[in-house]
Structure 1
Amino acid sequence: MSGNGVWRFATAAAFVGLGWGTASAEPVSRDKVLAALPRLEAMAQQLVADRAVPGLAIAIVHEDQIVYLKGFGLRDTSKAEVVDPDTVFQIASLSKPIASTVVASLVSDGVVGWDTRIADLDPAFRLHDAYPTAELTIRDLLAHRSGLPGLAGNELEDIGFDRETVLHRLRLVPPSSSFRAGYSYSNAGFTEAGVAAARPTGKPWEEVSEERLYRPLGMNATSSRHADFLARANRAALHIDLGQGWEAKVTRDPDMQSPAAGVSSSARDLAQWVRLQLAKGSFDDERLIGAEALAATHVPLMALGTNPATGATSFYGLGWNVELGRHGLNWGHAGAFSLGSRTLASLYPDASLGIVVLTNAFPTGAPEGLADSFFDLVFDGTVSRDWGSIWGDIYGGLFGPAVAQAKAAYATPPTPPSPPLPLAAYAGHYRNAYVGEAQVAEAGGALTLALGPKGARTYPLSHFDRDLFLIFPDAEMPDRPSAIRFAINPAGKAETVTIEFLDDEHLGTLARVAD
């Protein structure tokens, strides 16, 4: 998982009735901000001491100045290397408001417009239906209102396909809603927006991001390329807990969806970006992005309903969550890799105040817990609720029910189980246009399934019942089973295979290719 799709919603019409002036934050004094810092620091230290996270970094900006910048804990639990303000983290979907800032720079300079059609920028890109393909704009994709189902493309990335292949195959995915009528958080769609917006420059997205944003702000540790992250000596490893405490067991290369989730950065660098946001496109008294172009990213376009922790009315803009909550207008976005990353930026523009929290673990509600507690201290002088526990439960529950359901479904084979056919009946070459090629091979009395380009991912199959086998495809949830189902023809040979973990959009059934 990469993203901030913890809650999902429908249209932005409700904002008209609310009005902007009904919940605006008052400016806050520097004294109130500074007074909250010792308590915030104590909470961060306690999180590390309690092993709630291996490490974290915090940056706070107030009235165009960085007033707090510090790291805590370890970059990697297997090493004695500490987190500092320059430690580089993979920020997952916190990349989205970074990306919309880059696109705002292109809009500001007239390279593209928010309503430039994708068909004019990237004529080869297609959605499932002709009308949305023709009318789709940058704004539509950045607001997650294209109709693309949220998970579409993620599964292709998981089995090793590159960006070009994934974006090309989105044309095969039926929409989850009518065009512009529903919100569906799509990493692949967001990625196409960034890639298409960069095309008039003749340069790749990663280079445009560097030239338009990272270099001008002095974000020297920030990149949209995974190779650059790996080249940093001072980088935070991803951590998951498989029952033995936090371990750096897995890695995540997000280059396929770089605009949506591929940024790596430090607390120090992200503080500069927060300054740019709060200063409405100016930086060190120089206009870098037109105020109007940047303001468009904060306009609520899709209603998200109610924030599950705070109760705030929530909307999605262009790469930003926009909320009217207990302390006023808030712009924010979270990031999460289920392979071991949690991040957050949360800004109160009327108070010229923002915080960034980066952590190297999943699941954890530490970023939101720290941010919400800090803002309570600044605005109210006291923490109103145990935000860390509230957000921890939300993130901790993201996969629990699904894992439990999958384990329960396949916990006990039928009694007695039906034996499989001779394994040669299942072995063979299968394909469809979306998943591509699959090879089921027999060796040593067992079956394996190879998927992805040139069989990049290989999974052993364990028999469950007759023509149903199980695999365990999730590195971060190694005990979560997924079904492989074969359909047998009258001749006693498998004619199709349905791969459950690739079938969310009902595109996971592959037909046998003639031997």
Structure 2
Amino acid sequence: MRLNRNLRPWRIWAFIAAVALWPYAASAGDIAPDRMEAALSKLEALAEGVVADGGVPGLAIGVVHDDKVIFLKGFGHREAGKPETVDADTVFQIASLSKPVSATVVAALVSDGIASWDSKIADLDPAFRLSQPYPTIELTVRDLFAHRSGLPGTAGDDLEDIGYDRAEILRRLRFVPPSSSFRAGYSYSNFGLTEGAVAAAKPTGKPWEEVAEEKLYRPLGMASTSSRHSDFIKQANRAELHAKINGAWAAKVQRYPDAQAPAGGVSSTARDLSQWMRLVLGNGVYDGKTLIAADALDQTHIPLTPRGKNPVSGGEAFYGLGWNIEFGRHGLIWGHAGAFSVGARSLVMLFPEEKLGIVVIANAFPTGVPEGLSDSFADLVFDGTLGKKDKVKAWNDIYGSMFGPVIAAAKATYAAPPSPASPARPASAYAGRYSNDFIGDAVVSGEGDALVLKVGPAGARSYSLKHFDRDLFLTFPDAEMPDRPSAVSFVLGPDGKASAVTIEFLDGNHLGTLARVGD
């Protein structure tokens, strides 16, 4: 969830100071064993019920308390309609839960003196540029992990969708105008955080994926965890992605997140992530050995940017470095959610004062099951009861409302052409090559009675265009929302040929207009 709220600095720090005086719900030793046992039993029953009711095809849960893994189990199936079940070692794509995992890797680099949270990107990766000189010079690893660089939240996501690799996407971020002044606003950016991670790893001379293995996965014995999609595909015991099609979960789409691996490309298991939770809750100590200096890891949990209120619990939320920090009814929480709209959900929730953590990974979207189960578990641990609100339903309603209105609005806009509709010009009026610095080349050609748009490196993505009215055509670019139309509109010049084209699904940052190149 991307929730924003503008607060004056003095109000922020006054609030933090006030929260610091709140009594915590308990300490690690204050949670009675019988209450924990009852909470785990109910959590298991809730998870079984969610799967039985079709809430998700499959999920896995890990719970850590006082440096011990006290619950580890899978539920449901790896793929809907197939017999293979989920267990604690089933590998899931964890989407944006990758961000706090990657923040832990960078903390290890900071601990080893390889980089600093305040290292300047200009020193670590001199080729990287933002659109303006001053932020480019001053930008730090901390800025990028806190999402306060000024980059718009979706910057680069559109380039990934049409096939560009990480290096080219990061290079083209220089063409994206800022959505806010430098360090003045919060904008959740996958490729901003990716650059922060990649830059921090530069002094090692090794790729990010290898650094993550060396600094985190291998020392913790996370043998099934990787930041490479090719490793995920090799896993026999892996969960497929699911989206709702005609009211039923279906595994139809793959997600290849290598370009933004630090922000969304980690794959892992409940067993492996439980070991990571032990490290974080142990302030960098794992099995009695200090793997990461506490001061390097502590930096990730300092609340830097206000994010508003949790939509269900009402707790005040902030962003640190790859982590959400929330001050709620049960005290201090470190957490992060993850989602792929093509079919993944994940959540980690840590209560550092109680040395308690829960991770839930699921193979479906949209669903609020991870939040619903985690919130319910917290209520059971701290209150001994679930309360009156069904947390799974409340979170399901939030996630379920994400796409519906968007799709409905697009369908309504293009439900029917004007009557009478103006005819299109001849295909030759639109055919040709178009270009801008950010998107690169786009080629429009006539194929039979239809026009086809090709974009991305060497025309990697192809979209059929259906005439709507005059010089406006429709296409359906989203695999996860196949019935959502998007406009492709042309501007005709005095010679009767299109001088420019605007591709709506690439225009989120007003960079989707491309000028004709040549004839």
Structure 1 distance, partners of 2:198, 2:395, is: 33
Instruction: Give the corresponding residue for 2:3.
Output: 7
Matched, 1:324 2:293: no
In the alignment, structure 1 residue 16 sits paired with structure 2 residue 13: yes
TM-score, normalising length from structure 1? 0.98
Question: Aligned pair 1:201/2:204, yes or no?
Answer: yes
CA RMSD of aligned residues (A): 1.0
Q: How does 1:361-380 map to 2 (within 5 A)?
A: 361-380=364-383
What fraction of aligned residue pairs are identical, expressed as a percent? 62
Please name the residue that 1:336 is paired with: 339
Could you tell which deviates more after superposition, 392-401 or 456-465? Answer: 392-401
* 1:221 and 2:217 are equivalent in the alignment: no
1:126-165 Cα offsets, whole Å, 9 max, x none, are 0000000000000000000000000010000000000001
Provide the rounded CA distance (Å) in 1 between the counterparts of 2:33 and 2:128.
Answer: 49
Write the letter of the residue equivalent to 1:440.
V
Q: Does 1:185 align with 2:185?
A: no
1:264 maps to 267
Question: Matches of 1:48 and 1:313 in 2, distance apart?
Answer: 31
The equivalent residue for 1:437 is 441
Matched, 1:465 2:461: no
Deviation at 1:507, TM superposition (A): 0.5
Q: Counterpart in 2 of 1:308?
A: 311
In the alignment, which residue of structure 2 is the partner of 1:480? 484
In structure 2, distance between residues paired with 1:445 and 1:165: 34
Could you tell me which of 341, 349, 356 is aligned with 1:346?
349
Pairing partner for 2:407 from 403, 406, 423: 403
Paired letter, 2:24: S
String of CA shifts for 1:341-383, please: whole Å, max 9, x gaps: 0000001011110000000000000000000000000000111
8 A Cα contact 1:10 1:302, kept in partner: no
Question: Do the aligned residues in 2 keep the contact of 1:160 with 1:453 (CA within 8 Å)?
Answer: yes
2: CA distance, partners of 1:23 / 1:174: 44
What displacement does 1:50 show?
Answer: 0.7
CA distance in 2, matches of 1:325, 1:425: 59
Q: Which amino acid aligns with 1:475?
A: A
Q: Deviation of residue 177 (structure 1)?
A: 0.3
The question of whether the paired residues in 2 share the 8 Å contact of 1:488 and 1:496 is answered with: yes
**CA distance in structure 2 between the aligned counterparts of 1:16 and 1:200, rounded to whole angstroms:** 35
Q: How does 1:207-286 map to 2 (within 5 A)?
A: 207-286=210-289
Cα contact 1:56–1:73 (8 A) shared by 2? yes
Deviation of 1:24 (Å):
2.5
The residue that corresponds to 1:413 in the other structure is: 417
Deviation at 1:397, TM superposition (A): 1.2
What secondary structure sits across from 2:21 in the alignment? helix
Looking at structure 2, the residues matched to 10 and 124 of structure 1 have their Cα atoms a distance apart, in angstroms, of 33
Cα distance, 1:506 vs. partner? 0.7
Matching of residue 82 in structure 1 with residue 122 in structure 2: no
Residue 424 of structure 1 and its aligned partner are, at CA, apart by 1.1
Q: Deviations over 1:435-457 (max 9, x none)?
A: 01111010211100011011111
The answer to whether the Cα contact below 8 Å between 1:118 and 1:136 also exists between their aligned partners in 2 is yes
- Deviation (angstroms), 1:98: 0.2
Letter in 1 for 2:454: A
What is the CA-CA distance between 1:115 and the residue it aligns to? 0.4
Structure 1 outlier segments of 4+, above 3 Å? 9-15
> Would you say the 8 A contact 2:2–2:188 is kept in 1?
no
Q: What amino acid maps onto 1:429 in structure 2?
A: R
Change (3 A) 1:381 1:484: same
Q: Distance in 2 between matches of 1:126 and 1:78?
A: 48
Contact persistence 1:280–1:295 (CA under 8 A): yes
- Tell me the equivalent position of 1:494: 498
SS at match of 1:398: coil
In 1, Cα distance between the equivalents of 2:383 and 2:247?
A: 39
Is 1:58 aligned to 2:61, yes or no? yes
> Does 2:152 align with 1:152?
no
Change (3 A) 1:203 1:267: same
> Could you say which residue in structure 1 is the equivalent of 2:301?
298
* Counterpart residue type for residue 420 of structure 2: P
Q: 1:254 to 1:13 in 2, by over 3 A?
A: farther
Given the alignment of the two structures, is residue 33 of structure 1 paired with residue 36 of structure 2, yes or no?
yes
**Alpha-carbon contact 1:25-1:329 (below 8 Å) kept:** no
Name the amino acid aligned to 2:444.
Answer: V
Cα offset, 1:16, TM superposition? 2.3
Q: Give the Cα separation in 2 of the matches to 1:13 and 1:130.
A: 29
Query: The residue matched to 1:96 in structure 2 has which SS?
Result: helix
Q: Distance in 2 between matches of 1:314 and 1:367?
A: 18
- 1:308 is displaced (CA, Å) by 1.1
Q: 1:513 aligns with which of 498, 513, 517?
A: 517
Whether the aligned pair in 2 keeps the contact of 1:30 and 1:62 (CA below 8 Å) is no
SS at match of 2:134: helix
Write the letter of the residue equivalent to 2:14. Answer: G
**Residue type matched to 2:13 in 1?**
V
C-alpha displacement of 1:79 = 1.9
Measure how far apart 1:78 and its partner are: 3.7
Q: State the Cα distance separating 1:21 from its structure 2 match.
A: 3.0
- TM-score normalised by structure 2 residue count: 0.97
SS in 2 for 1:319: coil
SS at 2:22 equivalent: helix
The residue identity in structure 2 corresponding to 1:17 is A
Measured in 2, the distance between the counterparts of 1:106 and 1:14 equals 33
13 and 203 in structure 1: CA distance in 2 versus 1, 3 angstrom threshold: farther
SS in 2 for 1:343: strand
